[in-house]
């Protein structure tokens, strides 16, 4: 048991930004747009730091895949309490097509290299809403997974995870090493304090290339077109309930 936790953090467009589609419809505008850490990744970092504060684990390693700018995101994780960071360098075309399959391969390779006991990720990213990376990583490693976690309790090498599912709450017990994905109600991320931000400057961020981990980041998917959602159409007012039923039948809804 190395007591090491890997936390994946993703740099995404800030939630408050109004998203605009590029004129050539190949994607959304990201140049000059404010980015920040994915909110669910913040929750994941907070959970890992909490486990370390309870002395249940020994080291929190923050990982991010992307170009130079993702180092900002890793620094935020370090300011929240992570011990060190790993920057997996992916840039240009590769970064544009980087998706859950590639990231999960990278995380699986890093987990083996770092001998991690636990991987905590956000349940999904707010830019692609994939909700796949955690599950794929667990499958590649053949590790148990506790996804949509709203409560995590660690006891030696056993993890009790309360999951938010469609029907309510499900409690499962899984053995380490495992993958957990954080849901909204897992915790409330802390503010970084000024002293911690300054301490984070001294923490190390290692640089790694996907090739070093033996991972091929080429994508099997090709994005054909990106469009805005259709404009909301005006509604129609009707006089009586019979009119309403008639209109619904016309539209083929009933």
Partner 1 sequence: MAAARALARGVLLGSYSICRSRSLIFNSVQKRGIAACIDPSIGLTDEQKEFQKVAFDFAANEMAPHMAEWDQKEIFPVEAMRKAAQLGFGGIYVNPDVGGSGLSRLDTSIIFEALSTGCVSTTAYISIHNMCAWMIDTFGNNEQREKFCPDLCSMQRFASYCLTEPGSGSDAASLLTSANLKGDHYILNGSKAFISGGGDTDVYVVMCRTGGKGPKGISCLVVEKGTPGLSFGKKEKKVGWNSQPTRAVIFEDCAVPVTNRLGAEGEGFSIAMKGLNGGRINIASCSLGAAHASVLLARDHMCVRKQFGETLSNSQFLQFRLAEMATKLVASRLLLRQAAVALQEGRPDAVSLCSMAKLFVTDECFSICNQALQIHGGYGYLKDYAVQQYVRDIRVHQILEGTNEVMRMIIARSLLSES
CA-based R_g, the chain, Å: 21
Q: Between the CA of residue 44 and those of 29, 119, 187, 228, what are the distances in Å? A: 27, 9, 9, 30
Please state the closest distance from residue 121 (CB atom) to partner 1, in A. 15
Q: Are 208 and 33 in contact (CB under 8 A)?
A: no
Please state the closest distance from residue 127 (CB atom) to partner 1, in A. 10
Identify which of residues 184 and 213 has a Cβ nearer to partner 1 in the complex.
184
Residue 135 has which token pair? 């599950």
Please state the closest distance from residue 107 (CB atom) to partner 1, in A. 22
- Phi and psi at residue 119, in whole multiples of 5°? -115, 125
Please state the closest distance from residue 164 (CB atom) to partner 1, in A. 7
Q: Between the CA of residue 108 and those of 59, 62, 71, 142, 225, what are the distances in Å? A: 18, 14, 20, 10, 31
| Total count of residues recorded for the chain | 254
Identify which of residues 43 and 48 has a Cβ nearer to partner 1 in the complex.
43
Binding interface with partner 1 (CB under 8 A): 14-18, 32-34, 36, 39-40, 42-43, 71-72, 75-76, 79, 123-124, 126, 129, 164, 166-168, 183-185, 188-189, 191-195, 197-198, 200-201
Identify which of residues 37 and 217 has a Cβ nearer to partner 1 in the complex.
37
Identify which of residues 70 and 111 has a Cβ nearer to partner 1 in the complex.
70
């Amino acid at each position: 048991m190395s007591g090491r936790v890997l936390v994946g953090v993703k740099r995404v467009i800030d939630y408050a930004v109004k998203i605009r589609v590029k004129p050539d419809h190949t994607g959304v505008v990201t140049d000059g747009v404010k980015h920040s850490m994915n909110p669910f990744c913040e929750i994941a970092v907070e959970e890992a730091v909490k486990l370390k504060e309870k002395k249940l684990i020994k080291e929190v390693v923050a990982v991010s895949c992307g170009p130079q700018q993702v180092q900002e995101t890793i620094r935020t994780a370090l300011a929240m309490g992570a011990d060190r960071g790993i920057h997996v360098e992916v840039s240009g075309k590769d970064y544009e097509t980087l998706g859950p399959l590639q990231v999960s391969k990278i995380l699986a390779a890093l987990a083996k290299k770092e001998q991690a006991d636990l991987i905590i990720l956000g349940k999904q990213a707010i830019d692609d809403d994939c909700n796949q990376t955690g599950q794929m990583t667990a499958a590649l490693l053949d590790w148990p997974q506790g996804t949509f976690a709203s409560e995590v309790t660690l006891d030696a090498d056993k993890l009790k995870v309360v999951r938010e599912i469609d029907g309510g709450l499900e409690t499962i017990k899984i053995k380490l090493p495992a993958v957990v994905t954080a849901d909204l109600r897992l915790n409330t991320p802390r503010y970084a304090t000024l002293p911690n931000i300054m301490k984070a400057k001294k923490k190390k961020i290692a640089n790694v290339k996907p090739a070093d981990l033996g991972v091929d980041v080429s994508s099997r998917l090709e994005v054909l077109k990106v469009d805005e959602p259709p404009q909301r159409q005006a509604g129609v007012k009707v006089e009586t309930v019979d009119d309403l039923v008639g209109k619904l039948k016309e539209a083929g809804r009933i």
